Structure 1
Amino acid sequence: MRVLVVEPERRPEVKEIDDSLKEMQGIVGGYIQSIYPFEEPVALVCNDEGKLMDLPANRGLRDENGQIYDIVFGTFFLCGAPADSDHFTSLTPEQIEQYRKMFYTPEMFWGMDGRIVCLPLEVD
């Protein structure tokens, strides 16, 4: 299965993985949680306890106005999630490019005056 892996402070990377629970848990470092923040059938698979485990903040999830409504903690990956199946699938080449652009720039977060501040992080 072709997925897009997004690690904190790194650019997204395309990887070929098998669709075993063990491999998915290995990527995220624990129990998996799949969320569906996009209109198309794509799952964001992350560590279910990433915030509680104090994993590093990774990327912000934004609404249609570009405002951050949540932050994903720890490494996550994106994969296909067809509505007519209970299994994850490979991303299409178009989806890989779309989500690589969306999550291309690593981000840093901190609290300031009761708000979350997000800044792009320059990496090589």
Structure 2
Amino acid sequence: MKIIVVKPFQNPKVMEIEHTLEAMQKIVGGYIEAVYPFDDPDVALVCNEEGKLEGLTPNRFLLNRNNGICDFICGDFFLCYAPADSENFESMPDNLIQKYIEKFSAKGVRI
């Protein structure tokens, strides 16, 4: 499965991982949680469900349209495709990869 991995203080990277829960948990370092904060409703941000509670390193802010911080993600996370008509995560489509690489190269991400 092709994903975009985002680590604190690093630029995002495209990676291929096995399409398994274990591979996804390894990327985020624990239980996974998917959130959908983007204008593209089929793009999932998958993070460590307990990242804030475990004190993982703050990674990226999510900014609203007024540039105010509305949330932040702690620890490593990844982006993948999660179409509404499927129960599974899928590879990120090539037409969205560059858009999200650019979006997450900034310190904050506008949603």
User: TM over 0.5: same fold?
Assistant: yes
Residue matched to 1:36: 36
3-state DSSP of counterpart to 1:103: helix
- Whether 2:108 is the aligned partner of 1:101: answer no
Task: Give aligned pairs, total.
Answer: 107
Residue matched to 1:57: 58
Unaligned runs of 5+ in 1: 108-117, 119-124
Distance 1:76 1:2 in 2: 14
* TM, length-normalised to structure 1: 0.82
Residue matched to 2:89: 88
Give how far 1:93 is off: 1.6
Q: What is the letter of the counterpart of residue 32 of structure 1?
A: I
Structure number with larger C-alpha Rg = 1
Give how far 1:67 is off: 2.1
Residue matched to 2:78: 77
Distance 1:95 1:21, change over 3 A: same
3-state DSSP of counterpart to 1:15: strand
Give the percent of matched residue pairs that are identical in Structure 1 and Structure 2.
Answer: 49
Give how far 1:63 is off: 1.6
* TM, length-normalised to structure 2: 0.91
Deviations 1:29-84 (A, max 9, x none): 00000000012110000000000000000001122233220000000000001000
> What RMSD over aligned residues (CA atoms) do the two structures have, in Å?
1.2
